[in-house]
Structure 1
Amino acid sequence: MKLIRKQLRKILGTALVTLFLGSAVYAQENETPQLELGGALRFNYNHSSWKEGHANTGGDFGFDVFRLNAKAKYKGLNLNAEYRFYSTGFGGGMLKQGWVGYDFSENSELQFGLTQVPFGLTTYNSNSWFFSLNYYVGLEDDHDMGVKYSTKQGNWDIDLAFFKNAEELRFGGNTDVDPGRYSYDLGSIADADGNMTYRNREVNQFNAKFAYNIGEGSVTQQIGASGEFGGIYNLDTQKTGSRYALAGHYRLKAGKFGLNAAATYYKMNPNNAEGQDDRLVAMVAYGAAYMVAAEATTYTIGASYSVPVDWDPISNLTFYNDFGYMNKAVSDFTDSYMNVTGVMVTSGSVYTYIDYAMGKNQPWLGNEWTHGLGVGNPDAEWEARFNINIGYYF
């Protein structure tokens, strides 16, 4: 682990020094200030099989999120920020991403701040509104605080990054991670008496991603591999454990058809307090926490097919199915499953996701919230959620 970290530091440091020295000419070519503002307003309807109230009322329909986006560019410097306003029950206001970047050339960029972690298929490893199973263990569309270098070299896409920690919202040496965040990170969870337990933090994470692109035009493929190595600092024991994740991923785009596939292995070695199982960690997002197995392999696959239509105002229908399986390393734990079948309806600036999502030991798709992705329940049954998300994007 130490050797890998040293090599990544050396590679990243050499690349940055070289590119800083050779980038002055390119930066001067873009001297016209550019500013782009946008956002979205989304509403959500859901009917869940495990909620007795929904059987009587026909489900819930309400506010999902209002978000604001800002992008700016001047003399090679870039700004990209997105702030989201959720309801109080889903974590309230939160910065999804916010970084300052610098273009070394047309194909190379450095990002500094709260930026997306280069791991697995990016930007998303899924087609549906629910994302894939990887999202719920912090391995899809994750955003952390650090620096990332991205470059395109021929058919290769290369990303190298260092993240000091996840989003820091409560500055202090012994403060629990604030659960009001967009992407899942290690954190703390309250026990039956309200005491915080499994009090971990993500620290000093290195990422490397290499993807090879094949083909042009209507048929393209991407084959890639990702690695993630970092520390786990426990607030109670004041000891730092380790964690790592490895993934192989594949993407195909053939005309109207798309295919995503990934296999991901992760292992976390926390130094939890006495009496707290080192085979488990707590993860937090959207204002709440749940338990996750510290070691598992996930398999995800998603297929989509786009159908242009002329049903004014509807211009396109994208049908998809995303499946995910989480194989937990501990034999006494029960595995988790997730499948989403749906269609995205495009109507000008309005995008509507109509999903039928099913889950087994998946916190968001059933009543196994706290332990679904952790120990799991061997008696858990498949539960279903019919969901419609309507968003106007501007």
Structure 2
Amino acid sequence: MKNQLWFLFIVSFAVNAQDKPVIKFGGALRFNYIYASWKPEQKQQGGDLMYDMFRINAKVSYKKIRLNAEYRLYSDEFGGGMLKQGWVGYDFNEYDQIHIGLTQVPFGIQQYNSHKWFFNIGYYVGLEDDYDIGVKFLHQKEEGFNYQIAFFKNSETIAFGGNSDVSHNRYSYDVSYIDIDNDGKPDYRNKEINQLNFKVNYKLNHHDFKHQIGAFAQLGGLYNIDTKDIGSHHGYGMFYELDYKRLNVKTEFLQYDKSPENPENENSDVFAMAAYGAPYLVASTANIATLGIAYTVPVTWKSVESLQFYNDFGYLKKKGSYFSDSYMNVTGIGISAGHLYTYIDFAAGKNHSWLGGNFFDDFAQGNPNAKWEARFNINIGYYF
């Protein structure tokens, strides 16, 4: 009888324990060393070692309900504190979910179309690892067809009111505003609204080969705060990803077109985007092609577990006779050592706002006489 009572107690405790929310916290602390070819004063000092970011992650699951949130704290110069993502979800079954809140936009290869700390060139025009506020339905399986359908009311707006500009302090790039003539008044004041996204991909696993091929599209509005008119934007493309033993290959081709209803004194061939506290202009219409290759080598040297060697290339082909194209290539090594992960990157760019040149319009008009610039970057992060 005692054994039976003890068994009933154990079963009762297990059932009650499953009825309680499961909460997991994590985060990261990262630092950056930078040596840039276009900064003579920095080169004279031997580069800069600086604080990058501190983040906190929270994941909660309770029965079929889940929560996923990540808050990041950058320096004030790079936007300060910001919510990267934060959504509540529901699992209909093993394969079907719904996310509501600030969630990743289903566009291109997810989670990242890159292997490096810098992302690929699509990130800098809002088309890689982008997060907006809305609702998303996902059908996800390890093999076969997968799809995502989403409606985003707007980007991560943090101020109420139709006349409020989109904040520059954000993680992912979104349409925003810029003070083009430094007169204290904002220009190119657009904001993303009512966006539809659809993505479908097919996964095939065969022995050591894992293939993923897919297509994606989005369509939405651009509300101009000055004219009160609604323009439009759309984008579409396709991708392929291969995993073969230690090799990973990612390639993506896409096109985007933004048609803002700007005031007559503002050029409709460009629009403003912002993230990390800094806005710049971007060409309204362009094609993007990317190719990333990585090879991972297991290592048993002290605490080092693996080395990943990679090269990611990105090309932004702008439409318009007076626009100069943008390029980006990053060669690097990712070093995994327990909870410590280090990116060692040699990043080169041409007409790239974060890689030399003229920050505010490299992704817009650019410079036909631009030279390749380079940045040696080491990012050290402890993830917990």
Task: Using structure 1 for the length normalisation, give the TM-score.
Answer: 0.92
Is 2:305 the counterpart of 1:315? Answer: yes
Letter in 2 for 1:225: A
Aligned residue in 1 for 2:73: 85
Equivalent in the alignment of 2:381: 391
Q: Distance in 2 between matches of 1:325 and 1:212?
A: 25
CA shift at 1:195, angstroms? 1.8
Residue aligned with 2:92, SS: strand
Supply the distance in 2 between the matched residues of 1:218 and 1:90 (Cα, whole angstroms). Answer: 42
* Aligned counterparts of 1:290 and 1:216: Cα–Cα separation in 2: 45
Question: 1:206 maps to which residue?
Answer: 196
Matches within 5 A, 1:1-394: 31-152=19-140, 155-192=144-181, 193-216=183-206, 218-394=208-384
Between Structure 1 and Structure 2, how many residues are aligned?
367
Determine helix, strand or coil for the equivalent of 1:283.
Answer: strand
Q: Secondary structure at the match of 2:77?
A: helix
Question: Shift of residue 55 of structure 1?
Answer: 1.7
Any gaps of 5 or more consecutive residues in structure 1? 1-29
> How far does the alpha carbon of each residue in 1:242-294 deviate from its partner, in whole angstroms, 9 at most, with x for none?
10000100000000000000001000010011210101000010001000000
Q: Distance in 1 between matches of 2:152 and 2:263?
A: 25
- How far apart are 1:170 and its partner, in Å? 1.4
Distance (whole Å) between structure 1 residues aligned to residue 235 and residue 77 of structure 2: 31
Structure 2 CA distance for partners of 1:321 and 1:81, relative to 1, 3 Å: same
Residue 343 of structure 1 deviates from its aligned partner by 0.4
AA partner of residue 158 (structure 1): Y
Task: Please tell me the residue identity of whatever aligns with 2:163.
Answer: N
**TM-score using structure 2 length:** 0.94
Q: Deviations over 1:193-247 (max 9, x none)?
A: 2321000000000000000011145310000000000000000000000100001
**Matched residues in 2 for 1:173 and 1:327: separation?**
33
Which residue in 1 is equivalent to 2:3?
none
The residue type equivalent to 1:161 in the other structure is: A
Distance in 1 of aligned mates of 2:228 and 2:376? 44
Residue 191 (structure 1) shift: 2.2
Amino acid at match of 2:32: N
Alpha-carbon distance between aligned partners in 2 of 1:33 and 1:324, rounded to the nearest angstrom: 43
What secondary structure, in the 3-state scheme, does the structure 2 residue paired with 1:308 have?
strand
In the alignment, which residue of structure 2 is the partner of 1:9?
Answer: none
What is the root-mean-square deviation of aligned Cα atoms in Å?
Answer: 1.3
For 1:274 and 1:220, how far apart are their aligned partners in 2? 51
How far apart, in 1, do the equivalents of 2:196 and 2:380 lie? 37
SS in 2 for 1:136: helix
What secondary structure does 1:196 align onto?
Answer: coil
**Structure 2: unaligned runs, 5 residues or longer:** 1-17
